[in-house]
Homo-oligomer: A and B are copies of this chain.
Amino acid sequence: MAWIGLDWGTSSLRGARFDEQGAVLEERAFARGILTVPKRGFAAVFDELFGDWMRPAGTRCLISGMAGSQQGWIEAPYCACPASLDELVARLAWIEAGRIAIVPGLSCEHSGAPDVMRGEETQVFGALRLLDIDRGTFVMPGTHSKWIQVANGRIEHFATLMTGEFYALLRRHSILARTLPDDDVALVDAAFDAGVAHALRGPGLLQSAFSVRTLSLFERLPLQERPSYLSGLVIGEELRTRDPSGGEQLIVIGDDALMRRYERAFAQRDVRVRSVGAQATWNGLFSIAKRIGA
Residues on A lying within 8 angstroms of B by beta carbon are 70, 111-116, 144, 159-163, 165-166, 169-170, 173-175, 198, 201-211, 214-215, 217-218, 220, 234, 237-238, 240-243
Contact = CB atoms under 8 A, between A and B. Distances in A.
Nearest to A204: B241
Nearest to A215: B113
Contacts of A159: 207
A210 B174 contact: no
Given A113-B198, A169-B169, A160 B242 contact: no
Contacts of A203: 241-243
Contacts of A238: 206
Contacts of A237: 204, 206
A201 B112 CA distance: 10
A147 to B, nearest CB: 9
Contact of A207 (B116, B160, B202, B218): B160
A127 to B, nearest CB: 22
B206 A166 contact: yes
Given A206-B241, A207-B241, A111 B160 contact: no
Nearest to A147: B207
Given A165-B175, A173-B173, A175-B165, A204 B205 contact: yes
Given A161-B210, A241-B207, A114 B173 contact: no
Given A114-B211, A116-B217, A161-B207, 7 more contacts: A111-B198, A114-B218, A159-B207, A161-B204, A162-B207, A203-B241, A204-B204
A162 B144 contact: no
B169 A210 contact: no
Nearest to A209: B162
A203 B211 CA distance: 21
A210 B114 CA distance: 9
Nearest to A200: B111
Contacts of A170: 169
A115 to B, nearest CB: 6
With a 10 A CB-CB cut-off, give which of A112, A170, A198 has the most chain B CB atoms: A112
A206 B163 contact: yes
A202 to B, nearest CB: 8
A242 B173 CA distance: 25
B173 A112 contact: no
